Amino acid sequence: MNAPKNPKWLLASQSELTLRYRLARQAQQAWATRTVEQRARQLEPLRRLLDERLESLADLMQDENGKPRVEAIGHEVASCIGAVNYLCAKAPELLSPRQVSLPWMPNRRATVAHKPLGLVLVISPWNMPLSIPFSQVVSALIAGNAVILKPSEVTPRIGAAIGELLEHCQLPENLVTVLQGDGALGARLIAEGPDKIFFTGSVATGRKVMAAAAVHPIPVCLELGGVDALIVCEDADLDLASSAATWGATFNSGQICASVERILVAQPIMARFETLLARKFERLGPEDQGRITLDRQRAVYDRHLDDANARELTFLAGGGYKDEDHLEPALIRGVPRGDDVAASLVHLEETFGPMTTLLPFRSDKDAARLHNASRFGLTASVFSRSRPRAEALAKELKVGLVSINDIAATLHAFGELPWGGVGESGFGRSHGEEGLMEFTRTQVLEQTRRGLFEFKRPWWYPYDPTQLEMMKRFTQAMAADSWRDRAWRLGRTAHAALKMFKEAPRR
Strand partners for 380? 229, 402
Residue type, 398: K
The tens-digit pLDDT sequence of the chain (507 residues) is 444 455 555 556 888 899 999 999 999 999 999 999 999 999 999 999 999 999 999 999 999 999 999 999 999 999 999 999 999 999 999 999 999 999 888 889 999 999 999 999 999 999 999 999 999 999 999 999 999 999 999 999 999 999 999 999 999 999 999 999 999 999 999 999 999 999 999 999 999 999 999 999 999 999 999 999 999 999 999 999 999 999 999 999 999 999 999 999 999 999 999 999 999 999 999 889 899 999 999 999 999 999 999 999 999 999 999 999 999 999 999 865 555 899 999 999 999 999 999 999 999 999 999 999 999 999 999 999 999 999 999 999 999 999 999 999 999 999 999 999 999 999 999 999 999 999 999 999 999 998 888 888 899 999 999 999 999 999 999 999 999 999 999 999 999 999 998 988 888
Is residue 357 within 8 A of residue 347, CB to CB? The reply is: yes
Q: How far apart are CA 335 and CA 314, in angstroms?
A: 7
SS3 of 318-355: CCCEEECCEECCEEEECCCCCHHHHHCHHHHCCCCCCE
- Whether the CB-CB separation of 402 and 382 falls below 8 Å is answered with yes
Hey, which residues does 381 pair with through a beta bridge?
230, 403
Asked whether the beta carbons of 308 and 320 are under 8 A apart, the reply is no
C-alpha 268/C-alpha 217 separation (Å) is: 52
pLDDT tens for 24-51 read 999 999 999 999 999 999 999 999 999 9
Position 10 scores a pLDDT of 56
Backbone angles phi, psi at 387, to 5 degrees: -60, -50
Give the whole-angstrom CA distance, residue 196 versus residue 324.
Answer: 39
Indicate the SS3 state at residue 416: coil
Give the C-alpha separation, 121 to 386, whole Å.
44
Q: Which run of H or E residues covers position 122? A: strand 119-123
pLDDT at 7: 55
Cβ neighbours of residue 427 under 8 Å, at least 6 residues apart? Answer: 221, 222, 420, 421
> Residue 329 contacts by C-beta under 8 Å, 6 or more apart in sequence?
249, 250, 254, 281, 284, 289, 317, 318, 354, 355
Give the pLDDT confidence score for residue 450 in this predicted structure.
87
Q: Under CATH, domain 228-414 is a member of which superfamily? A: Aldehyde Dehydrogenase; Chain A, domain 2 (3.40.309.10)
Backbone φ and ψ for 196, nearest 5 degrees, come out as: -165, 155
Domain boundaries, the chain: 15-224+432-443, 228-414, 456-503
Nearest to 349 by CA among 297, 405, 282, 427: 297
Return d(Cα 182, Cα 308) in angstroms, integer. Answer: 33
Residue 6 has what pLDDT? Answer: 53
CA dist 395 → 380, 388, 420 (Å): 11, 11, 16
Cβ atoms 61, 72 nearer than 8 A: yes
- Residue 93 CA: distances (Å) to CA of 34, 420, 495: 15, 23, 44
Bridge partners, 177 (sequence order): 148
pLDDT of res. 5: 52
pLDDT of residue 427: 96
Residue 191 in contact with residue 14, Cβ under 8 Å?
yes
pLDDT value of position 439? 98
Dihedral sign for Cα 216, 171, 2, 88, please: positive
List, in sequence order, every residue forming a beta bridge with 98; answer none if it has no partner. Answer: 112
User: What are the catalytic residues?
Assistant: 223, 257
Residue type at position 224 = L
332-345 CB burial, b ≥16 within 10 A, e <16: bbbeeebebbeebb
Strands of 247-389, DSSP E: 260-266, 314-317, 321-323, 326-327, 330-333, 355-361, 376-377, 379-383
Q: Tell me whether the omega of the peptide bond preceding residue 336 falls within 30 degrees of 0, making it cis.
A: yes
| CATH value of 15-224+432-443 in 3.30.300.30, 3.40.605.10, 3.30.390.50, 3.40.50.150 | 3.40.605.10
Helix (H, G, I), strand (E, B) or coil at 364: helix
CA-to-CA distance for 423 and 354, rounded, in angstroms? Answer: 23
- Residue 354 confidence (pLDDT): 97
In tens, the pLDDT along 300-343 reads 999 999 999 999 999 999 999 999 999 999 999 986 555 589 99
pLDDT score of 170: 93
- What is the length of the chain? 507
